[in-house]
Amino acid sequence: MTNVVITGTGLFTPEHTIDNDALVASFNAWVDAENARRAEAGIEERLAHSSSEFIVKASGIHSRHVLDAEGILDPERMRPRLRERSNDEPSIQCEMGAVAARQALEAAGVAAADIDLVIVGCSNLERPYPAVAVELQAALGAGGYAFDMNVACSSATFAIETAANAIRAGSARRALVVNPEICSAHLNFRDRDSHFIFGDACTAIVLERDDLASAEARFEILGTHLVTRFSNAIRNNAGFLNRVTDADPQAVDKLFVQEGRRVFKEVCPLVASLIGEHLGRLGFAGEDLARMWLHQANRHMNDLIARRVLGRDPSEQEAPIILDRYANTSSAGSIIAFHLHRDDLAAGDLGVICSFGAGYSAGSVVVKRV
């Protein structure tokens, strides 16, 4: 069987950051204005303020990177202000992807022309077609074929399995997986329970046939395991039919909506079981893992999942957290953790890249440092 290795990763981090204090100040200013409007209209129900302490306690998040901070922090707007691109300009996601992809290619020692497959996987694509992946393929000068895919927060792990299978099947020798996440654009910054959750980022991964790889640092993909279970607990109803159903494009359900407590209760055991079963199929157990690069949505979820898999509390090194400064970057999160926290592993060390989110969906990629 053809062995597939990860030989390079890249990360695009937006220059703008918003800490919890700034986000809370904007939210509370809007709450005060909205409560004044309600009082004037004779509406008794009042909205509650947010606080930095509440955010950290609920999620572990302290700050986030975003493509635009000014629009988000304007209490009269509270959403990013991004310039619309003409058809002759690179799309925003293509630009993000190109930065991360070039880093990954350089790390792998691979020329873009030697890439046979480009997959762009993320929670939201800025247009239906042409595919951002095809645009990125052209921008990089990559060969072969390209396509977009969306499995929400699990897009990266699902794309890794797809790319690895293409390499094993012989339809590609090298593949590039890119995850351009502009999560700030689908977040309701006027919802107290979720206004702090997301940030923006883009990751990229190069996968190759092991016999073609030249990079010294490699991670062999020992196996992948995916699962989906339908649930409305995380949902976004924005779509092309909104126009013909006369739906309000600014309605709350056209943005990220979740039942947080239900998600926690249902997803944590699903993911812990997925990882445990996957390790068992490969002849390993939780205690064999040196590193867990988990989806970066919530500190409490990660701690619980790692505890169930390892059978004890994880150390900071075993289950690294990057959501404290990146927040939830959807499919990019686990790859950011992998990108930043893998160099210290020794040859033979095992790790798992795991993502989980809307769908429900979850993906496990077990790797070994070569």
pLDDT, tens digit, 9 for 90 and up, residues 228-252: 999 999 999 999 999 999 989 889 9
**Once rounded to an integer, what is the mean pLDDT over residues 77-92?**
97
Q: How much is the pLDDT for 250?
A: 85
Q: How far is CA 4 from CA 121, 170, 255, 280, in A?
A: 19, 11, 37, 20
Q: How much is the pLDDT for 19?
A: 98
SS3 306: helix
Q: How much is the pLDDT for 249?
A: 84
**Once rounded to an integer, what is the mean pLDDT over residues 92-107?**
98
Nearest to 130 by CA among 172, 178, 93: 93
Whether residue 24 has pLDDT greater than 90:
yes
Judged by phi (left if over 0) then psi (alpha if -120 to 50, else beta), residue 130 lies in beta
Q: How much is the pLDDT for 95?
A: 98
List the domain boundaries for the chain.
219-369
Q: What percentage of the chain exceeds 70 in pLDDT?
A: 100
The torsion angles phi and psi of 14, rounded to 5 degrees, stand at -60, 150
- Decide if domain 219-369 falls under CATH 3.90.1720.10: no
Q: How much is the pLDDT for 145?
A: 98
Q: Would you place residue 30 in the very low, low, confident or very high pLDDT band (cuts 50, 70, 90)?
A: very high
Catalytic residue among 94, 153, 183, 268: 153
Tallying the residues shown for the chain, one arrives at: 370
Q: How much is the pLDDT for 154?
A: 97
C-beta of residue 184 within 8 angstroms of C-beta of residue 66: yes
Whether residue 1 has pLDDT greater than 80:
no
Whether residue 142 has pLDDT greater than 90:
yes
Please give the model's pTM, rounded to 2 decimal places: 0.96
Count CB neighbours of 211 within 10 A.
9
Q: What percentage of the chain exceeds 90 in pLDDT?
A: 98
Cα-Cα-Cα-Cα dihedral sign, residues 192, 181, 230, 321: negative
Whether residue 28 has pLDDT greater than 80:
yes
Nearest to 220 by CA among 232, 234, 229, 210: 210
Q: Model confidence over 283-314: pLDDT tens digits? A: 999 999 999 999 999 999 999 999 999 999 99
Q: How much is the pLDDT for 333?
A: 98
Q: Model confidence over 199-216: pLDDT tens digits? A: 999 999 999 999 999 999
Count CB neighbours of 33 within 10 A.
12
Whether residue 348 has pLDDT greater than 90:
yes
| Residue 153 annotated in active site | yes
Judged by phi (left if over 0) then psi (alpha if -120 to 50, else beta), residue 4 lies in beta
